[in-house]
């Protein structure tokens, strides 16, 4: 069975993931050995810390794809971003500075583990209003959702997707 990984920090020298090309290739070999055939690379986009814009992401992705081909690693790679939610994201998406999941309307979004539920819910509404379809990254980290599972059901009923580690 083949799996698709939609949350990966395998691009080298972009964020806190792979520190170099060889580490990235080793990560991909391990993923392939586990049955993963496709990976959406999702470097962090966090104001003030990691700011991998779409141009830089695509450059690194092209380099990694080339190495993957040379090494014969049978894993397909696609662009994406793990976006730390904050105001003003609409213009970043509209300008093309931020990538969605392989050019679709889906966007991987994260929050602080201590974030208030009403903020997460409002953000999900905001993203839908932008024409985006949010996927909550590492949903098991959000204390408000762990303490009150009905909140997670509410988000799912709104159409929000979730990703767990």
Note the pLDDT tens digit of each residue in 90-140.
888 888 888 899 999 999 999 999 999 999 999 999 999 999 999 999 999
Contact 42, 82 (CB under 8 A): yes
Which pTM value belongs to this model? Answer: 0.92
Whether residue 48 has pLDDT greater than 70:
no
How does the average pLDDT of the chain come out, rounded? 93
What is the predicted pLDDT for the residue at 92?
87
* Angle ∠(100,15,2) on CA atoms, nearest 5: 55
Rounded percentage of the chain residues whose pLDDT exceeds 90: 77
Closest-CA residue to 78 (of 53, 110, 48, 104): 104
């Amino acid at each position: 069975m083949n799996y698709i990984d939609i949350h990966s920090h395998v691009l080298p020298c972009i964020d806190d993931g792979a520190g170099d090309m060889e580490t990235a290739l080793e990560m991909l070999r391990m993923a392939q050995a586990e049955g993963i055939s496709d990976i959406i690379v999702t470097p962090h986009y966090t104001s003030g810390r990691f700011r991998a814009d779409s141009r830089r992401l695509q450059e690194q992705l092209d380099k990694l794809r080339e190495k993957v081909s040379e090494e014969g690693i049978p894993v397909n790679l696609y662009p994406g971003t793990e976006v730390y939610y904050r105001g003003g994201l609409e213009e970043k998406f509209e300008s093309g500075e931020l990538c969605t999941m392989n050019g679709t309307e889906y966007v991987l979004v994260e929050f602080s583990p201590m974030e208030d539920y009403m903020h997460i819910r409002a953000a999900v509404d905001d993203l839908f209003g932008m024409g985006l379809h949010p996927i909550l990254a590492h949903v098991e980290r959000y204390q408000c959702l762990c303490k009150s599972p009905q909140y997670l059901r509410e988000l799912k009923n709104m159409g929000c997707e979730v990703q767990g580690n």
